[in-house]
Amino acid sequence: MSGGEVAGILVAVFWAILVSFLAVALARLAQTLKATTKLVADVTDQAVPLLADASQAVRSAQTQIDRVDAIASDVQEVTSNASALSTTVASTFGGPLVKVAAFGYGVRRALGGRKEDVPEKSPRRTVIVGRTVPAARRKRNPRGKRD
């Protein structure tokens, strides 16, 4: 065998080994692509029902939000009506009731002070170091009692 034939055989063996490695790599790549395709199909099969459930949950939540919004607007309307009613009652009955109460107090006071069998009380006086201070000029202590 000559040097050219040996070189040709070496090149052929090298190419055969290279093609074998490439074939093994392509076979493994094909297996990986098949596994990936199966995985994507499984994920898709599971994701579609989950997305449908999520969509239903969002619709249900929107319905509940609409109900709460309607309730909140009704409560706001009731609150404004109650406020208007309170203002109306206060303006209609407030003034006259105050006048009637004041009149009743005045009548009781007038009738209570004219009893003939009860002697009038003399105003209390406070003695301070030999002086008498009228009750109207006495100061109140912090507890609300007179000195």
pLDDT digits (tens, 9 = 90+) for 104-116: 888 888 888 655 5
pLDDT value, residue 74: 93
Looking at per-residue pLDDT, the higher value among 145 and 88 belongs to: 88
Name the band, by pLDDT with cuts 50, 70 and 90, for residue 14.
Answer: very high
DSSP tag of 141: P
The average confidence (pLDDT) of the chain is 82
pLDDT mean over 73-97: 86
CA 53 to CA 59: how far, in whole Å? 10
Residue range 32-84, pLDDT digits in tens: 999 999 999 999 899 888 999 999 999 999 999 999 999 999 999 999 999 98
pLDDT mean over 82-96: 83
CA 97 to CA 90: how far, in whole Å? 10
The helix (H) or strand (E) run that includes residue 132 is strand 131-133
**What residue has token string 């009743």?**
104
* Phi/psi of residue 129, nearest 5 degrees: 45, 55
User: In this structure, what token pair is assigned to residue 143?
Assistant: 């507890």
pLDDT value, residue 125: 62
pLDDT mean over 121-126: 63
Name the band, by pLDDT with cuts 50, 70 and 90, for residue 12.
Answer: very high
**Contact yes or no for 94/101 (Cβ under 8 A):** no
Give me the residue spans of the domains in the chain.
10-112
Is the model's pLDDT at 147 over the cut of 80?
no
The β-bridge partners of 128 are 131
pLDDT value, residue 140: 55
Name the band, by pLDDT with cuts 50, 70 and 90, for residue 13.
Answer: very high
